[in-house]
Each structure stands twice: as C-alpha cells, then as structure tokens.
Chains A and B, each alone.
Chain A
Amino acid sequence: MRTLEQTTQEVLDLASQHFNVPAGSLAPEDDFFKKLGIDSLQTLEMLSRLENHFGIELPDYEVQGVSDFRTLASRIQSRL
C-alpha cells in the first residue's frame, strides 16, 4: 500500500511527464492550473492518465474544485 507521500510524488511525476515539464519542477502545493497553464479539459486528460496509472476510477465530482496536487493525491489515496 502506498503512503500519501508516495502517491503525491507519483502524481507529480506523471503530471510532469504528461505536460512535458522538468521532473522536480512541480511541488505538492502547486496550483496545477496556474503552474502548468492548463485548462479544465487538459486537467481531465491528466486525470485519465492518473486513473490508468493507479488502476482506479476517479469520478468527476471527486475532483470538482480541486486545483492543487496534494489534494488531488489525497483524493486518489482514498480510492486506492
């Protein structure tokens, strides 16, 4: 079972790969809309990738209003 820290790190790694930004440039408290300059549609694409990685389903309502990696990771953690 992953710890929340591990999940958070994997979320950051996957987001940096998906959006082609240097590994280590993203932090848990970063607002991903702002840091990555992405819109809501691109966020949905990232969520699909995260779902495939973690082997979970993350309903849209679970991530409604979430904009930072740490909260996103905790929503994923609760479904692992």
Chain B
Amino acid sequence: MLDLSKYQSIGAALKDALDRFANEVCLIEADREREKERLTYRDFQQRAHPLAKALQDAGFAAADRASIIMTNQSKWLISAYAIFFAGGVLVPLDYKLSPDEQWQLLKHSGAQVLITEYPIWRQLSMAPGRAAAANVRTIVVTEAPANADLTGAQRWEDFRSIGEPDFVPRARTDVACIVYSSGTGGRPKGCMMTHENYLEQCVALTSLYPFWPGVRYLSILPTNHAIDFMVGFFGPFTCGAAVVHLRTLRPEYVREAFSKYKITYVSLVPLVLKNLQKGLQARFNELPSGKRKVLNALIAVNKALTKSRPRLSLSRRLLKQVHEPFGGALRTIIVGGAFTEPQTLQFFYDLGIPVANGYGLTEAGTAITVNDLKPFRADTVGKPLPGMEVRILNPGADGIGEVSVRSKTIMSGYLNEPALTSEAIVDGWLMTGDLGRLDDTGHLQLFGRKKNMIVTEEGKNIYPEDIESVFEGLPVKEFCVFAANFIWPRRSMLGEQLVLALHLETGQSLTEELRRDISTRNSKLLNYKRIHGVVLFDEDFPRTASLKIKRNALAEQLAKLDREAAFLPL
C-alpha cells in the first residue's frame, strides 16, 4: 500500500498508484456472463490521461467542479481519476435520482462538467430542470449509439486530446468532492469533503481491512455512495487491488461473480445481506434431515472455534459447501448504509463469513466505527476507527445520548450553508443526530435517532422535507411529513416509517377519496421514499413569523397522541 501520509491529494496518490502497480489488474467489467473489459493500472492510465487532457483543453482548471452520474462501471473511475488529475472537484451524484433532482443538484453544486451514460442522458436532456442549470457547460456521454442525437453533449469515447495532461497539485485542505447527503426537496446538503478526509479515512479503514495486489473487490453499492467510493475505488487503488464491476445486478449474476472472479471483499446494504441469508437458509432447509444435522453440527463447531476471532481457512474447510458458492476467497462482507439486524450478522459469522458492520455518515467521511472482529460483536456497530474520537452527549441514566465525533475525516462543511454547518459541527465535533451508547469495551451501540429522517434497509437516507412537494395541493388545511420515530421516539434502528400529519378542514374527514388522492400522490415517489401512514391532528400547526411550520413543536404536540391509535396505515 502507498504511504498515504506523504500525499497531499487523492489525485497525487492515485497518480503514483497507477505507476507503482502498472502491471496489476485494476478493473474487470462484466455484463451478465460476458467479461467486457479487463484493465491493468497502465491501461487505466492510458484511458484516463487523454480524458484529463481533453478536460484541460476545454478550460477545466484547479477547483473547477465536474459531476459524474453513472452506474458502476470502469468509465466512472476513469473519469473520476481524470477529474482529480486535472485538479478538479468531483460531484458524484446518485443515478437513481429523478432527472429534475439531478439538475437541481448540478445547479446547486456549480458543476461545469457533467459526465454521464447515454440512458441517463436520454432522460436528463429532456427534463425541464436542464434550463436552470446553465452552469453545466461541458457534457460528456458514454456509450451513445452511433445515430443518437446527443442534444449538445459530446461522446465520451471521442472526448480525448493528444498529448500529456498537466498534473494539477492540490492541498490536503482543498475540497476534493461535494457529496450530497440529502436535500433534493428543500435545502440540498452538499458535504464538502477535503482530500485529507479521504486520505485519513483510507488509512483508518485499510488498517482493519487491508487490500493488496490480487485482492478483488466486487463493487455493487453505487460508486457515488461514500462507502463504494472508498472501498470500491480509492482504497483498492492505493493498494494495487482490483475492482470488479457488474453491469447488471440480477441476483443470479451477482452469485456467479463470486466464484468466477474469486471475490475477496464485497460491500452490501442490509437488504441484500438479508436476501442472501434467506437464500442460504432456504437451501439449508431443503437438505435431507441427516445432512442437515451434520451441517448444524459443523456450524456449531465453527462457532466454537471462531469465538475469539475469525479463522477463515478453518471455516472454509469445515463448511466447504457453504463457502464454495462464494468463490472460496471471500474474506469479509462489508455491510453499510443502514442498520443491520444482529441476527443476520451472527448468521453469517457462524458460517465463517465475517460481516464487517459499521456506522458512519457522509459528513464523517464514510465510517466512524467498524466491527474489528476481535471478537465479533453482532450487538454493536463496532469500535471507533483509529483517529476517530467518539463521545456521547448528555447521556441519560442508561448511558444513551447523541453520538458526536471528531476526526480528520469530518467534512469541512455544507456547500453554501454556513448556518447548517455550524449546527452540524460544534467546536470541531460532528453532531450525528443518532442516539447511542459506548459500552465498557468501547463498542458503540445504536438506539434510534434524534433527527427527523429515516434510513431504509437499502441504505437510502430519506428526509421528510424532500418528499413533501408531492403532497402540495392536497385538499386539506395543512400537512407535514415526519419520521414516525421522530414524533414517537423508539430505541430502535429497525422498521423506520414516514408518516403524513394532516390537519383537515372543519367538518372534513379522511374519506376514501382523500385516501386515494394521498395514495396516488404517494405512488409518484420512488418506492423507498413513500409514506407508510397518516396521522390526523385537529389543531393549527405551529408556525414561524414567516409561516413556516415549526416541525419540532408540531412533533411535540403529535407525540401526545397514542402512536398505535393515531397511526393510520395507508
């Protein structure tokens, strides 16, 4: 691994990595059963430099911003490297957002360059939001069909210049990326992450979960997400490891990839991990009772022998039939993006497949705590990573309070939002809004949230204010969306739901017609953003002088209602 303490920027570290590991494989891209591409670090450099040069020829300079909206593929990483090489600031956006949401964030970020895929550009180019984002001057589109009308965009494959690009150095304190943690409805929260944030996070994570040449990481989580950016790009690249991209995420091809490419690490969201668990459990249940008993006995032996630490070789020998479908080289499943149920973690650990669960926020530069497996503790989210100071603010008698964190990985602030920044970072400590407790061994346990938001099992952060616009015009006196646990706090990270608080007109009732109207509007939201129920409130919502709803005060009033009786499922 490169000694990252010597580097000032992501670009400088990656530049050296490409030279140092020139002959190692860095990227494999497959589409279903077909391998489309296999690049060494030298190949990667040869693809990226003409792009960096073309960006520079187009006037892209130090601190200029360029956005990538792409599914996971080699061109994502090549484009990102070219942006860093040219001294730019990367704005990675979620390809699953709607085109108008993407334009909104492109405008907010001030991106001058957009690099995207043709199917995404097809939607983006027709969206009304395009007109407002005049700041995006250069648009580069990958994989466009030969006869496609690119409406002002250029082909990625042709966007290349001859000659060596100039490497543009950046300082550790300069912004490397603007990563949106939320805010497509109200105030976008663009986390300004510095080069130091990433360099320090990479050192901390790889101290627990190292990469080296020959390691293969299966990249499934979107690369715009902080986790995949770190463990599916920057981490493996600074260690000479390889990243495997799949162009389709159908379960059968994902399963096949484990054995075909001898995957070492993979990151998953809890939903996918639970699905894997279900599949394995179903397989076990189908075994004849004799074989089932043998398997259970072997699992019990493995469990006893791995109590204090994982013993991969031993587990692979003991439970060969379980490990073989995973390719036999899998060292750890990294799970993140949302809270994972302890029983799921324990299920895999008992099979000899350690799951590195952790806890983090985009604002904190990926991970704050990670389970170090020494020993494995399914009931916690692990210990703070090296360099992270975690403290619990105003703990109650049970030791539970708000988790706050201080480290070199904390963002420098929210873009254009000094007030929001000073609420989030107080005296250098990031207020996470999550409730937790540190136990005697220094492991962090989580117990719900203080903040008005939910995180789905797919790792999606949903803020109520971001989805309210879909209910505008609803024929009621007033409405407001909340995380149900924000109104009625529960000491749990599971089963989080959104609820629509309604104040009906005098004499109005929640008729079938109104329910249908709510459901129709709700179905316009992406499935994971939808509200789960309604709560009726028959008083005027408290408002500020400028007539904005005082959410905290309203939540306090709603909390007086009995949750079970008041929550009307849709």
Instruction: Specify which chain A residues have a CB less than 8 angstroms from the CB of B250 in the assembled complex.
Output: 44-45, 47-48, 60
Q: Does A31 contact B (CB under 8 A)?
A: yes
Instruction: Specify which chain A residues have a CB less than 8 angstroms from the CB of B252 in the assembled complex.
Output: 48
Query: Which residue of chain B is the closest to A67 with respect to CB atoms?
Result: B527
Out of A41, A61, A64, which one reaches B271, CB within 8 Å?
A41
Q: Contacts A34-B523, A65-B98; is A40 near B117 (CB within 8 Å)?
A: no
Q: Does more than half of chain A's interface fall in helix, strand or loop, or is it mixed?
A: helix
- CB interface residues, B 265-282, toward A, < 8 Å: 271-272, 275
Query: Which residue of chain A is the closest to B570 with respect to CB atoms?
Result: A34
Query: Which residue of chain B is the closest to A39 with respect to CB atoms?
Result: B271
How many A residues, CB 8 Å from partner? 18
Task: Name the distance in Å between A61's Cβ and chain B's nearest Cβ.
Answer: 4
Q: Does B249 contact A (CB under 8 A)?
A: yes
Whether the pair A61, B523 counts as a contact (CB closer than 8 A) is no
Instruction: Specify which chain B residues have a CB less than 8 angstroms from the CB of A31 in the assembled complex.
Output: 523, 527
Expressed in whole angstroms, the Cα–Cα distance for A33 and B71 within the complex equals 22
A50-80 interface bits toward B, Cβ cutoff 8 Å, 1 = contact, 0 = none:
0000000101111011010000000000000
Out of B247, B272, B526, which one reaches A65, CB within 8 Å?
B526
Whether the pair A61, B71 counts as a contact (CB closer than 8 A) is yes
Task: Name the distance in Å between B47's Cβ and chain A's nearest Cβ.
Answer: 22
Instruction: Specify which chain A residues have a CB less than 8 angstroms from the CB of B251 in the assembled complex.
Output: 41, 44-45, 48
Task: Name the distance in Å between A19's Cβ and chain B's nearest Cβ.
Answer: 15
Instruction: Specify which chain A residues have a CB less than 8 angstroms from the CB of B117 in the assembled complex.
Output: 61
Q: Does B458 contact A (CB under 8 A)?
A: yes
Q: Does B119 contact A (CB under 8 A)?
A: yes
Expressed in whole angstroms, the Cα–Cα distance for A75 and B216 within the complex equals 34
B26-49 interface bits toward A, Cβ cutoff 8 Å, 1 = contact, 0 = none:
000000100000000000000000
Task: Name the distance in Å between B43's Cβ and chain A's nearest Cβ.
Answer: 25
Instruction: Specify which chain A residues have a CB less than 8 angstroms from the CB of B150 in the assembled complex.
Output: none
Expressed in whole angstroms, the Cα–Cα distance for A62 and B527 within the complex equals 17
Task: Name the distance in Å between A59's Cβ and chain B's nearest Cβ.
Answer: 7
Q: Contacts A44-B251, A60-B249; is A33 near B527 (CB within 8 Å)?
A: yes
Out of A40, A44, A48, A61, which one reaches B458, CB within 8 Å?
A40
- CB interface residues, A 1-53, toward B, < 8 Å: 31, 33-34, 39-41, 44-45, 47-48
Out of A33, A41, A60, which one reaches B248, CB within 8 Å?
A60
Residue among B32, B117, B527, B528 facing the most chain A CB atoms (10 A cut-off): B527
Task: Name the distance in Å between A39's Cβ and chain B's nearest Cβ.
Answer: 6
Whether the pair B527, A64 counts as a contact (CB closer than 8 A) is no
Expressed in whole angstroms, the Cα–Cα distance for A10 and B54 within the complex equals 49
Query: Which residue of chain B is the closest to A58 with respect to CB atoms?
Result: B248
Task: Name the distance in Å between A65's Cβ and chain B's nearest Cβ.
Answer: 7
Query: Which residue of chain A is the closest to B122 with respect to CB atoms?
Result: A61
| Contacts from B to A (Cβ < 8 Å) | 32, 71, 95-96, 98, 117, 119-120, 247-252, 271-272, 275, 458, 523, 526-528, 530
A-B contact pairs, 25 of them (CB 8 A): A31-B523, A31-B527, A34-B527, A34-B530, A39-B458, A40-B271, A40-B528, A41-B251, A41-B275, A44-B249, A44-B251, A45-B250, A45-B251, A47-B250, A57-B32, A59-B119, A60-B248, A60-B249, A60-B250, A61-B71, A62-B119, A64-B95, A64-B96, A65-B96, A65-B98
Apart from the given pairs A41-B251, A44-B250, 4 other A-B contacts in the complex at a CB distance below 8 Å: A40-B271, A41-B275, A65-B526, A67-B523
